[in-house]
Amino acid sequence: MIYARIVGTGSHLPGEPVTNDDLVRRGVDTSDEWIVNRTGIRTRHFAAPGCKSSELALIAARRAIEAAGCAADDIDLIIVATSTPDFIFPSTATLVQAGLDIGNGCAAFDVQAVCCGFVYALATAEKFIRSGSHRRALVIGTDVFSGFLDWTDRSTCVLFGDGAGAVVLEASEKPGVRASVLHADGSHHPLLWVPGAVAGGQVTGDPFVRMDGQAVFKFAVKVLDEVVREVVDLAGVAQDSIDWLVPHQANIRIIQSWAKRLGLPIEKVITTVNLHGNTSAASIPLALDCAVRDGRIRPGHRVVAEGIGGGFAWGAVLFDF
Ligand code: ACO
């Protein structure tokens, strides 16, 4: 049996932390108290104007490759999860391949599942490796949401930040990923979207993030609870064998609500939303890398990564680290 194991993690946050009070100083009609009470967010990072998702991804990728102890040319598959690609095409994954000077012609493509993108990308890469067709995948979540924020819409602009996270996934006889589940229900797409497009040489529609926050909140709490139970059942392991949950970092109240529904001690949940805000596809690999580097997640630990994003698209991956 071939498993896919995470053998290296890396991440990158651009610039200095931006506090809630900094947002007030920049003219957003909000307060530190409101943001902390409703979301748990205290700081986030924003990329410099013009900085692209691939630039953040490259730094995270180099760190993950270094942690894995392999060479960039040993990578034979690159999957980038992003909903803020550098360009309409080519894929951000091909730009990362070029940036890493990988000249071996390996496959490289993007997946788009918004805040659940990393879970979709990891589950996809695992299937390539388990099939035997590929041996070492670079899986990245990267987003520059700041370019899509309407700074006059205080119900969205305070929530998001920019960043990137990456893992190297390698074929192994030792268990790594044990199960993954992916779901989507596109009928909810107007609850969370950027309803703009480019056509006829112009942006058509609205190029900013729009969201019905309360509807997203209710849906997220319900399905995140269900999807963790589902992946645990599929893996055939006991729920109390899970050492760590690494959820998508959108809002501390969403995380607390489903942890309670699952009967899960909050101490087992990795949270970085207070420091990073919602970095969309980057949030899970960023949180994972933080917990690996600070020594909480150690070799042999059992981890569930789970997320939900626009669409809606949601899912979970259970793996032994
Ligand atoms: N600062 C101050 N006041 C605000 C702000 C703000 N940033 N934003 C909204 N308000 C005000 C509203 O205007 C409203 O005022 P009113 O009562 O005078 O009309 C009041 O606060 C309550 O607004 P609600 O939208 O009802 O606030 P709610 O308690 O629902 O919190 C929030 C909003 C934080 C967005 C919440 O709905 C939420 O967390 N939803 C989840 C959405 C999410 O996390 N999305 C991220 C992307 S999706 C994903 O990643 C899963």
Cα of 140 from ligand 1 centre, angstroms: 29
pTM: 0.97
Distance CA 174, CA 1 (A): 9
Residue tagged active-site, from 20, 106, 115, 251: 115
Q: What tokens does 62 get?
A: 């180099």
Half-sphere exposure of residue 44: CA atoms within 13 angstroms, side-chain side: 33
Domains of the chain listed by start with CATH number: 3-174 (3.40.47.10), 178-320 (3.40.47.10)
Active site residue 115: yes
User: Tens of pLDDT along the chain (321 residues)?
Assistant: 899 999 999 999 999 999 999 999 999 999 999 999 999 999 999 999 999 999 999 999 999 999 999 999 999 999 999 999 999 999 999 999 999 999 999 999 999 999 999 999 999 999 999 999 999 999 999 999 999 999 999 999 999 999 999 999 999 999 999 999 999 999 999 999 999 999 999 999 999 999 999 999 999 988 999 999 999 999 999 999 999 999 999 999 999 998 888 888 999 999 999 999 999 999 999 999 999 999 999 999 999 999 999 999 999 999 999
Contact 309, 115 (CB under 8 A): yes
Reading the block at residue 130, the tokens are 């388990």
Give the per-residue pLDDT at 117.
Answer: 98
Distance 190 CA to ligand 1 centre (A): 17
Contacts of 135 (CB under 8 A, 6+ apart): 76, 129, 170, 171
Distance in Å, CA 219 to ligand 1 centroid: 15
